[in-house]
Amino acid sequence: MMKSYILLLSLFVLPIVNANAQMKAFDSLTSKVMFRIWEYESNDSIKVFLKRYVPFIAEPIKGKWKAYPPNYFVLPREKNIVHSLVFYTHPFIDVPFKEGQIDFLTRETDSGKVWVRDIHLWFKYADLSAAQKGFDVLCSMFAKVGKQNKLEKTGTSLTAVYENPSPTYFPNTVSFMLMKDELIKTGYKIFFRQGEIE
């Protein structure tokens, strides 16, 4: 009787423990690719950039949230701005690339309020074979911790989508697309983002 309880317990508990470990591994890898900005643990090279252009991502917000009634505020004029940081090594992951770039697409007011609309991460390459190697490394990294939802070739682009098997927060997917660099004749690039590429 005791053996059957232990067997039943192991059938239910072990998959949960394994799924939890896989979920944490997916979230951890995604965090590293995105420079660990959501944990406020970026390295010093990107922290200076974040403090200047998107300060609320650089350090945790202190205080409490408040709810206000409708029409309480006069809406300020807003501008859409892109802040870009170019880098040549990545401090948290080992992916080959010639040049990298992280773009913060923001909406900003004249009074200094900043909202992030999206974050784009780019890895750039001199040629297709180098770009394919970088794409394969990203696929290999995410295949270990997630489930591949899509690997699709469309014309000259190749798209991969990986899903967190046990999501803890939204978005629970990452996408990356290998494509021709329209500005460099023989160049290619990989576009990476949390969520699906639309």
Q: How confident is the model at residue 110 (pLDDT cuts 50, 70, 90)?
A: confident
**What is the rounded CA–CA span in Å between residue 169 and residue 24?**
11
What's the pLDDT score for residue 28? 85
Task: Identify whether 73 is part of a domain.
Answer: no
* 8 A C-beta contact, residue 42 and residue 50: yes
Name the residue with higher pLDDT: 70 or 45.
45
Q: pLDDT tens digit string along 76-101?
A: 678 899 999 999 999 888 899 999 99
Task: Identify whether 72 is part of a domain.
Answer: no
Domain that holds residue 7: 3-61+79-194
- The pair phi, psi for residue 191, each rounded to 5°, is -100, 125
Task: Identify whether 66 is part of a domain.
Answer: no
Task: Identify whether 33 is part of a domain.
Answer: yes
Task: Identify whether 69 is part of a domain.
Answer: no
> What distances in angstroms separate CA 51 from CA 34, 45, 83, 169, one per listed residue?
16, 11, 12, 25
Task: Please give the model's pTM, rounded to 2 decimal places.
Answer: 0.71
Reduced to 3 states (helix: H, G, I; strand: E, B; else coil), residue 128 is helix
> What distances in angstroms separate CA 9 from CA 1, 3, 20, 21, 43, one per listed residue?
13, 10, 17, 18, 43
- The pair phi, psi for residue 139, each rounded to 5°, is -60, -45
Torsion, Cα of 123, 128, 129, 135 (10° steps): 40
